[in-house]
A = this chain, B = another copy of it.
Amino acid sequence: VTAPAGRRARLTADGIASSALRLVDEEGLEALSMRRLADDLGVGTMTLYGYFRNKDELLDAVVDAATQDFEPPARRGNPRTRLVAYARAAREWLLRHPALVQLRGREPILRPAALRITELGIEALLDAGLEPAEAARAFRVLFVYTFGAVAFSAAEPGEDERRAVTAAMRALPAAEFPALGRAAEGAGAALGGAEQFDYGVGRLLDGFGIR
- Select which of B119, B132, B185, B207 is within 8 A of A204 by beta carbon: B207
Contact A151 B153 (CB under 8 A): no
A118 to chain B, nearest CB (A): 6
**1/0 contact string of A147-171 vs chain B (CB within 8 Å):** 1110111000000000001001000
Residues 46 to 91 of chain A near chain B (Cβ within 8 Å): none
- Select which of B110, B149, B189, B202 is within 8 A of A144 by beta carbon: B149
Closest chain B residue to A187, Cβ basis = B136
A200: chain B residues at CB < 8 Å are 137, 140-141, 144-145, 204
Contact A137 B182 (CB under 8 A): no
A106 to chain B, nearest CB (A): 10
Count how many chain A residues have C-beta atoms less than 8 Å from C-beta atoms of the other chain. 58
Contact A147 B151 (CB under 8 A): yes
Contact A132 B182 (CB under 8 A): yes
Contact A183 B144 (CB under 8 A): no
Contact B132 A185 (CB under 8 A): yes
Q: Does A134 contact B (CB under 8 A)?
A: yes
Residues 167 to 182 of chain A near chain B (Cβ within 8 Å): 168, 172, 176-180, 182
A144: chain B residues at CB < 8 Å are 145, 148-149, 152-153, 200
Question: A: which residues have CB within 8 A of B?
Answer: 104-105, 108, 110, 115-116, 118-119, 122-123, 126, 132-141, 143-149, 151-153, 165, 168, 172, 176-180, 182-183, 185-187, 189-192, 196, 199-200, 202-208
